[in-house]
Amino acid sequence: MVAIIVFLVLHWYLSLFGQTFYLHRYAAHKMFTMNKFWEAFWYVYTWVTQGTSYLNARAYAILHRMHHAYSDTEKDPHTPHFFKEVFSMMWHTKKVYHGVLKGTMPIEKKFDKNFPVYPIIDKIADSWFTRIFFAIGYVVFYYFFATEWWMYLFLPIHFLIGPIQGAVVNWAGHKYGYRNYPDEKDHSKNTLIIDFLMMGELFQNNHHHAGARPNFANKWWEVDPCYPIIKLFHWLGIIKLVPIKATINHDSRFHK
């Protein structure tokens, strides 16, 4: 049982870090820069940790920029306010995502630029062969280490870990919690004052107020667990944080 819980927790947080650090804060918002080696390294890291639910960086960035520009309106690709439950929202997001990925959905030019693109990695990562390979790997691990039948009920989390994490953020973060900035025109909320569950992603009201600020926690009593890691990477030279003023100016091109 211990092995299964450790595997589930590690998979959750390793993949979540790839989503919040690389796909969200880097690909979508460009809160920091990095050289080509680290860009490719984190691209592969995000693929491996998401496994069966790999999310393409370009499609993710475009959807997220649309989300900021049209937050909680009918043009928002993943708002909870037009759906009765989270699964309908997830299905709608999937359709928009595939429309962007396959080129069947028109995209505003201001959203479709300045993100990492690695076609060869995408071709491998997005293939059914690769997704099935990861799925078999999860099942084999459970076969050897699961001690009770009910542990296999965790497998769907591994299969869909990327979309599940996104759904938690977009559903809870726009329905439940408090607002530091009530003048924001959307329904964004801060769900947790110490966001241990989603590594800062549930500070949605803070984030929508200052979309390119790398620290999603704004008040002294709020904690964004991802931000100290970003500061450490900056200190180590892995990334270079963009100055706040420049970041805000950049952010306005995509989100206003």
Band (pLDDT 50/70/90 cuts) for residue 249 is: very low
Residue keyed to tokens 């989390």: 157
Query: What percentage of the chain has pLDDT greater than the value 70?
Result: 95
Q: What pLDDT score does 182 carry?
A: 96
For the segment 81-90, what is each residue's pLDDT rounded down to a tens digit?
Answer: 999 999 999 9
Which residue range is the domain that position 200 belongs to? 2-255
pLDDT digit string, tens, across residues 208-247: 999 989 999 999 999 999 999 999 999 999 999 998 765 5
pLDDT band at 256 (very low <50, low <70, confident <90, very high): very low
Write the pLDDT tens digit of every residue in 134-192. Answer: 999 999 999 999 999 999 999 999 999 999 999 999 999 999 999 999 999 999 999 99
> How many structural domains is the chain composed of?
1
The sign one gets for the Cα dihedral 55, 59, 64, 67 is negative
